[in-house]
Structure 1
Amino acid sequence: MRIVTHSGTFHADDVFAYSVLRDALGAFEFIRTRDMAMIDSADIVFDVGGIYEPAKGRYDHHMRDLPRREDGTPYSSVGLVWRDYGRMALPRFVPGIGEDMLDSVWQDIDATFILTIDQADNGVATVSQSHLALLVEAFNPPWDSGQSYDDAFVEAADFARGILVRACRQAYAEAKALSLVMAAARQARDPRVIVLDRKLPWEKAVFEGGLSDLLFVIYPNEDLTAWYCRTIPPEPSSFGQRLSLPEAWRGLQEAEFSKAAGINDGVFCHPSGFICGARSQGSAVRLAEKAIAGG
């Protein structure tokens, strides 16, 4: 199989597109050129050639009638390649990923990571000096360098793959966390309180999973020496609380907090009333129940 993209200066979209194809398809002949004869003879062409025709492996986007996402955002070459080959690459990026998580992780990466490259490449979003697209473009050799553009491209692709792998694994972890939170919600005796057996990101599941009745989440610290009772914010990333912890508990620690809360192993209650803790799961659950009952 021969895969072709353009020679010379490269950008984030063609670098990431190559990284995706390399893991999706395995070994292939890769050529960077603008020679139309070589482009026409290739099996897959991206970011060059003037043709967008996926059925024939043509993924350019530099034309008047360029391919767009459903929301109207123009695709770049990586957006097109990720759309058609991202699911094939994911098992290499995230070893052990199951079919049940594949589409969720693909969608998460597409809607966040890949979309930002599409936007930057097409000039439909502001790009800061620290934007990923510019970091990748920095691999282009300066005018006084002896390095070839082809060698620099491969170096940039290795860098890009490392970032994409981390992003995919983070998305996979978040997808697993959402599944665990939703399972805990289904098993909860009271829809206002859920108990998790480990510390994990739960906020996304609360809002994407529609847990509108949830008021408190119970979870342990990393070494299981304490259990937290955490209030739920009214919207994502908010510092507010659907139901605050009782005023009489706030700012207290150890014996004083235990006495005020009516448990025997209390640890603390934050002065702002969004989190408190105990040394056992049972006590942490009781703290949530007492807070719901009014303290």
Structure 2
Amino acid sequence: MAKLIGTHNGHFHCDEALAVFMLKKTAQFAEADLVRTRDPAKLSTCDIVVDVGGVYDPNLHRYDHHQRGFEETFDKAHKTKLSSAGLVYKHFGHEIIAWELGLPMGNDEVDLLYHKVYDDFIEALDGNDNGINQYPSDLEPAYKEATSLPSRVGKLNPWWNQKVSDAQVDEQFLKASQLAGSELLETIHYLHKAWLPARSLVAQALAGRKEADPASGRIIILSQACPWKEHLFEMEKHLLKDESRIATEGVLYVLYPDESGNWRVQCVPKKSAGFENRKSLPSSWCGVRDEELSKLTGIPDCIFVHASGFIGGNKTKEGALAMATKALTMD
């Protein structure tokens, strides 16, 4: 006899739509049938219940978040209260990722992705469903946001002036579940195939920082261009521990080849989303190009330094490294 997944009927939200999809990605509930009802007697026959019932008890496979006193979060580092999506992900996320990627449960990548997927995908759904403002402010938003995943799931509900049967609503719920789930899987595969490889490149560059800059280790060289800022900041926190050491020992310049085969020297910003650099390229170089820049720096094959001093270029790796090394000693 097939197992039963229970959730409430009627108007649906992104969190339980995704929760049901995730459960269908586990060995235990992959072949389970779905029951949508608020009838306690019917829910009591279900093997697992999400987003209804007023109980959170993983031992009983009950995952509701609406009851008074519920304050469960993903872990001690997070403050966002979980929705049914977050609850299911917290308890089944490792299995879902391992199964989807064909990796063993104890794999280090699975655990890394488990936390990253929550931060990048699930937490926003938890916050949205629980009515938690992303920014704790009374400011009115500058524009309307109606294209988020919760918004698109919400639009699959029957319109207020449509007359539809319960079966038709259930059919729309399955569409919503598939929509939310497909975006979850896209996130998992992107992080596995693009985010993790970039992390490896940054880790390799950090490990070789003394080869690139024996004197201070404040220059790193990436073997190819990739999104590096998030990884660098996270690894520095782990490696250097506190802000004072990051300020005095953190990486200042990142070198990498661009799509044309030339090399870039990019400054590390003070914050991942900011425009203020830890150390900009010398102001006397800013806005200067080509031969004029080579004469000014005494370094051959220079291409440019941006007017704001956050990035420069050279035709060779050696030239880019010479620019970064010289910039370390200049204001």
Tell me the TM-score normalised to structure 1 length. Answer: 0.90
- Indicate the larger mover: 248-257 or 51-60: 248-257
Q: 2:39 aligns with which of 18, 35, 49?
A: 35
Q: Which runs of 4+ in 1 moved over 4 A?
A: 92-98
Kept in 2: contact 1:52–1:67 (CA 8 A): no
Q: Which residue of 1 aligns with 2:298?
A: 262
Tell me the secondary structure at the aligned position of residue 174 of structure 1.
Answer: helix
The aligned residue for residue 203 of structure 2 is 182
Give the secondary structure class of the aligned counterpart of 1:217.
Answer: strand
Alignment of 1:1-295 (within 5 A): 1-25=3-27, 26-69=30-73, 70=76, 73-94=80-101, 99-125=107-133, 128-142=145-159, 143-144=161-162, 146=164, 148-172=168-192, 173-189=194-210, 190=213, 191-210=217-236, 212=246, 213-223=250-260, 225-294=261-330
Give, in angstroms, the shift of residue 194 of structure 1. 0.4
Following superposition, the deviation at residue 226 of structure 1 comes to: 1.1
Q: How far apart in 2 are the matches of 1:66 and 1:5?
A: 18
Aligned-residue offset at 1:120: 1.7
- Conserved 8 A contact 2:103-2:110: no
Letter in 2 for 1:66: F
Deviations 1:98-146 (A, max 9, x none): 9222112111222342122112212222694344322211111224265
Is the CA contact 1:266–1:278 (under 8 Å) kept in the aligned structure 2?
yes
- Relative distance call for 1:56 and 1:185 in structure 2 (3 A) is same
CA RMSD across the alignment: 2.3
| Larger deviation, residues 45-54 vs 125-134 | 125-134
Instruction: Provide the rounded CA distance (Å) in 2 between the counterparts of 1:168 and 1:89.
Output: 10
Query: Any idea what the Cα deviations from partners look like across 1:10-67, whole Å, max 9, x if unmatched?
Result: 0011011112112233322222222333311111111112222111111112211324
Deviation digits for residues 131-185 of structure 1, max 9, x if unmatched? 4322211111224265711111111122112221232234333344233212211
Shift of 1:9: 1.0
Shift of 1:93: 4.5
Alpha-carbon distance between aligned partners in 1 of 2:253 and 2:33, rounded to the nearest angstrom:
55
212-221 vs 97-106, which deviates more?
Answer: 97-106
CA distance in 2, matches of 1:141, 1:215: 54
Can you give the 5+ residue segments of structure 1 that lack an aligned partner in the other structure?
none
How many residue pairs are counted as aligned between the two chains? Answer: 294
